Amino acid sequence: MKKHNFYAGPSILPQFTLEKTAEAVLDLNGTGLSIMSISHRSKDFTSILQETKSLIRELLDIPDGYSILFLGGGASLQFTMVPYNFLNKKAAYLNTGSWASKAIKEAGFFGEVMVVASSKDKNFSYIPKGYSIPPDVDYFHITTNNTIFGTEIKTDMEVPVPLVADMSSDIFSRPLDVSKYGLIYAGAQKNLGPAGVTLIIIREDLLNKVERVIPTMLSYKTHVENESLFNTPPVLLIYASLQTLIWLKKQGGLSSMQKLNEEKAAALYKEIERNKLFRSTVENSDDRSIMNVCFVMQEEYQDLETSFLEFATSRGMVGIKGHRSVGGFRASLYNALPIDSVKALIKTMQDFEKTV
Amino acid sequence: MKKHNFYAGPSILPQFTLEKTAEAVLDLNGTGLSIMSISHRSKDFTSILQETKSLIRELLDIPDGYSILFLGGGASLQFTMVPYNFLNKKAAYLNTGSWASKAIKEAGFFGEVMVVASSKDKNFSYIPKGYSIPPDVDYFHITTNNTIFGTEIKTDMEVPVPLVADMSSDIFSRPLDVSKYGLIYAGAQKNLGPAGVTLIIIREDLLNKVERVIPTMLSYKTHVENESLFNTPPVLLIYASLQTLIWLKKQGGLSSMQKLNEEKAAALYKEIERNKLFRSTVENSDDRSIMNVCFVMQEEYQDLETSFLEFATSRGMVGIKGHRSVGGFRASLYNALPIDSVKALIKTMQDFEKTV
């Protein structure tokens, strides 16, 4: 049976990425060597690294003055590295979910943290608006997409201080104005590649902003100066990510991708609205994520939750169980998810409704 | 032409690992999903993680009371995590090479560092002996194999304080007495798997040894308590590592592996001794690494260095150029390197000698 992969991450990657990666694991471009078995200082790999950076620059239209890094430790390590490198006295954070809360906690180890707004009062079901950012903070941190709660900040903010964004689950889903950001970080395992590599896009004039001593591996400066080759990078994961970028470009780049993503999300939200059994957990449609669509059973059909999950599973739907802090269901519609999978899910929802 | 892969790391992995990984990248055990595209919370992956830990426990005969972790950031991040978690006042380090020196530098950010002995005076060409370890230090740190300089500590030390060992380039090359160690860490990219995952074996009674506040991701306690699933681990890299462990067990485990490794190294050192063109950079044969064999041209044949490198390259030898801090040549003989590759290198050395 064909599987429809709605996992929230690690999640679906293009078939192109799978095939090219499998090929290179056996033999990299006819070299007789596996991509897993070559030195990170070899020409074979340094050219892969260069191509990966170039494609990211091209796809995101990154202006001069920004460096691109690939680090280990996931976005979670960035929760620590950001304040280690940037927090002198005070930083502002927007609390829009579990990951934002974790980032806030880590920043607290390094200085004063101002939570300028939070949607915790309603289980993070909306994106706060109308707050102000004090001009004397070292930076303002946001989580652009909240994977667990299905909300998303879908525009590039204009703020009076360096803007730091965790874009783990929506980077490459739409064109960005990178010039609005001081630092962007993103765990690869949604729209880019396999888990274990984190993409960092950093404005170079933000280095050397704090006086504290930073351990070498935790300093962005180390990695910028060594062009992301200070120590052995995750070679295989960068290679797989490159394949996704090549695929992205072939699909017409980020504008085409955004169009397709919006189409997929619109179709699913429409069905959630129409179907008597379900409701979205995010009231304001402007706040609804294009990447992670969260929905629950309507009050009167609560007891059908398990039945629907079983019904959907029997139709090949994978990974649609909602996170325990929201319940219900979550369908992640990352770049690589074909619209046919969304149609299959919609059909499943409709067919299940008929059985009720 | 068949390639003989002598890279120092990332380096050769078993053909079995390549084939199984390529297979799972396309389809994990007939699930219809790629190993790159499944949730780290899925049963498919948690059972892979369990099996990987179990096999490590079995192969290294790890006693109770130790946890196994898989972290990102490489051994270089461990240079920071070790003192962050263990250095209260003073730590002792043995300086046997570039990596040991880097570990020493990072520890200096956290407290007093005593270098109990160093072989820097002779470009790290030997393992220091006859030093003593003060009983009041928080731990003693060693680098068991010095990849760049071709030296190795081949026995398990008995020391009066917790022993911390960077075993990046010799773990799994011989049986270990893990009970002698407080913490072992190893970047995977030599004898285990692809670059990007670091294996940690930690004695649990060493947690909570310092008073400082440790950022969550840098605390071993976080990862021990969450069984290495605090955040998304590098799923694909752990899967590939598991395949190498399965292969290792099929080869008869670490005793068989040690026998084969010693045989490979003995054959190559013997040829270096015999051949008039070459000499080992490590005088004391007890200190010579079984994993990385470093050799240079004899004084009178210095000018043939480039010619030999070209000659060897034309015979399919890959990665035998020595590190710039030693010069000459380095042949890395990791577990997965077949003895036939060693024989091919020896034949190449003999044939080149005849041309002189």
**Could B195 and A232 be called an inter-chain contact, meaning their C-beta atoms sit closer than 8 Å?**
yes
Spatial distance between the Cα atoms of B119 and B114, rounded to a whole number of angstroms: 15
Identify the residue among B37, B110, B332 best suited for mutation to test binding to A, counting A beta carbons within 10 A and taking the highest.
B37
Q: Grade residue A351 by pLDDT with cuts at 50, 70 and 90.
A: very high
Distance from chain centroid for Cα A234:
19
Question: Tell me, what's the pLDDT at B15?
Answer: 98
Per annotation, catalytic residue among A99, A138, A154, A170? A99
- CB-side neighbour CA atoms (13 Å) of A191: 28
**Could A215 and B31 be called an inter-chain contact, meaning their C-beta atoms sit closer than 8 Å?**
no
Question: Tell me, what's the pLDDT at A80?
Answer: 98
**Could A215 and B319 be called an inter-chain contact, meaning their C-beta atoms sit closer than 8 Å?**
no
User: Is B81's pLDDT higher than 90?
Assistant: yes
pLDDT in tens, B288-306: 999 999 999 999 999 999 9
Cα–Cα separations (whole angstroms), residue A256 to A145, A175, A294: 20, 9, 24
User: Is B139's pLDDT higher than 90?
Assistant: yes
Question: Tell me, what's the pLDDT at A276?
Answer: 98
Question: Tell me, what's the pLDDT at B209?
Answer: 86
Answer positive or negative: Cα dihedral of A55, A59, A62, A67: negative
Q: Min CA distance, A205 vs chain B (Å)?
A: 24
Q: Check if A166 is active-site.
A: yes
**A115: exposed, middle or buried (C-beta count within 10 Å: 0-12, 13-18, 19+)?**
middle
Q: Min CA distance, A356 vs chain B (Å)?
A: 30
What is the share, in percent, of chain A residues with pLDDT greater than 90?
Answer: 98
- CATH code of residue B288: 3.90.1150.10
pLDDT in tens, B167-196: 999 999 999 999 999 999 999 999 999 999
Q: Is residue B236 domain-shared with residue B280, that is, in the same domain?
A: no
Q: Is residue A79 domain-shared with residue A46, that is, in the same domain?
A: yes
Q: Check if A247 is active-site.
A: no
* Cis status of the peptide bond prior to B194, with omega within 30 of 0: no
Establish if A221 belongs to a structural domain. yes
Q: Is residue B79 domain-shared with residue B215, that is, in the same domain?
A: yes
Question: Of the candidates B323, B321, B314, B324, which has an alpha carbon nearest to the alpha carbon of residue B351?
Answer: B314
Q: Is residue B66 domain-shared with residue B149, that is, in the same domain?
A: yes
Answer positive or negative: Cα dihedral of A336, A341, A343, A345: negative
| Angle made by CA atoms B279, B285, B288, in degrees to the nearest 5 | 80
Q: Name which of A2, A195, A213 is nearest B234 (Cβ-Cβ).
A: A195
Question: Tell me, what's the pLDDT at A117?
Answer: 98
- Is-contact A93 A117, C-beta < 8 A? no
pLDDT in tens, A127-175: 999 999 999 999 999 999 999 999 999 999 999 999 999 999 999 999 9
- Provide the domain limits for residue B72: 15-250
State the average pLDDT over residues A220-237.
97
Question: Tell me, what's the pLDDT at A65?
Answer: 98
Q: Is residue A179 domain-shared with residue A108, that is, in the same domain?
A: yes
Q: Which residue of A has its CA nearest to B22?
A: A22
Question: Tell me, what's the pLDDT at A314?
Answer: 97
Length of chain B: 356
pLDDT in tens, A10-24: 999 999 999 999 999
Identify the residue among A217, A223, A230 best suited for mutation to test binding to B, counting B beta carbons within 10 A and taking the highest.
A217
Q: Is residue B72 domain-shared with residue B185, that is, in the same domain?
A: yes
User: What are A85's two structure tokens?
Assistant: 């490198």
pLDDT in tens, A305-327: 999 999 999 999 999 999 999 99
Establish if B122 belongs to a structural domain. yes
- CATH code of residue B194: 3.40.640.10
Q: Name which of B105, B194, B235 is nearest A10 (Cβ-Cβ).
A: B235
Structural domain total, chain B: 2
Spatial distance between the Cα atoms of B36 and B45, rounded to a whole number of angstroms: 10
Q: Min CA distance, B212 vs chain A (Å)?
A: 11
User: What are B238's two structure tokens?
Assistant: 């752990």
pLDDT in tens, B193-246: 999 999 999 999 999 889 999 999 999 999 999 999 999 999 999 999 999 999
Q: Residue B139: how many CB atoms within 10 A of its CB?
A: 25
Q: Is A350 helix (H, G, I), strand (E, B) or coil?
A: helix
Q: Grade residue B1 by pLDDT with cuts at 50, 70 and 90.
A: confident
In sequence order, what DSSP letters do the residues of B35-64 get, joined into one string?
A: GGGS-TTSHHHHHHHHHHHHHHHHHHTPPT
Per CB-CB distance under 8 Å, the chain A contacts of B194 are: 36, 234-236
Question: Of the candidates A53, A51, A62, A107, which has an alpha carbon nearest to the alpha carbon of residue A228?
Answer: A53
Per annotation, catalytic residue among B138, B166, B170, B287? B166
Q: Output the average pLDDT for chain A.
A: 97
**Could B37 and A12 be called an inter-chain contact, meaning their C-beta atoms sit closer than 8 Å?**
yes
Answer positive or negative: Cα dihedral of B230, B233, B235, B238: negative
Residues 6+ positions from A108 with CB-CB distance below 8 Å: none
Spatial distance between the Cα atoms of A248 and A254, rounded to a whole number of angstroms: 7
Question: Of the candidates B207, B205, B1, B258, which has an alpha carbon nearest to the alpha carbon of residue B84?
Answer: B207
pLDDT in tens, B333-353: 999 999 999 999 999 999 999
**Could B38 and A79 be called an inter-chain contact, meaning their C-beta atoms sit closer than 8 Å?**
no
Q: Residue B285: how many CB atoms within 10 A of its CB?
A: 10
Per CB-CB distance under 8 Å, the chain B contacts of A99 are: none
Q: Is residue A343 domain-shared with residue A217, that is, in the same domain?
A: no
Q: Is residue A72 domain-shared with residue A149, that is, in the same domain?
A: yes
What is the share, in percent, of chain B residues with pLDDT greater than 70?
Answer: 100
Q: Grade residue B263 by pLDDT with cuts at 50, 70 and 90.
A: very high
Spatial distance between the Cα atoms of B173 and B195, rounded to a whole number of angstroms: 18
Beta strands A292-297 and B292-297 are: unpaired
Cα–Cα separations (whole angstroms), residue A181 to A55, A65, A107, A162: 19, 12, 19, 7
- Is-contact B3 A3, C-beta < 8 A? no
Q: Min CA distance, B182 vs chain A (Å)?
A: 23
Q: Grade residue A291 by pLDDT with cuts at 50, 70 and 90.
A: very high
User: Is A183's pLDDT higher than 90?
Assistant: yes
Spatial distance between the Cα atoms of A296 and A43, rounded to a whole number of angstroms: 51
- Is-contact A93 A107, C-beta < 8 A? yes
Question: Tell me, what's the pLDDT at A1?
Answer: 84
Q: Check if B166 is active-site.
A: yes
Q: Is residue B80 domain-shared with residue B227, that is, in the same domain?
A: yes
pLDDT in tens, B82-132: 999 999 999 999 999 999 999 999 999 999 999 999 999 999 999 999 999
Q: Is residue A246 domain-shared with residue A317, that is, in the same domain?
A: no
**Could B240 and A84 be called an inter-chain contact, meaning their C-beta atoms sit closer than 8 Å?**
no
Establish if B7 belongs to a structural domain. no
Question: Tell me, what's the pLDDT at A15?
Answer: 98
**Could A42 and B7 be called an inter-chain contact, meaning their C-beta atoms sit closer than 8 Å?**
yes
Question: Tell me, what's the pLDDT at A209?
Answer: 86
**Could A217 and B22 be called an inter-chain contact, meaning their C-beta atoms sit closer than 8 Å?**
no
Residue B17 host element (H or E):
helix B15-26
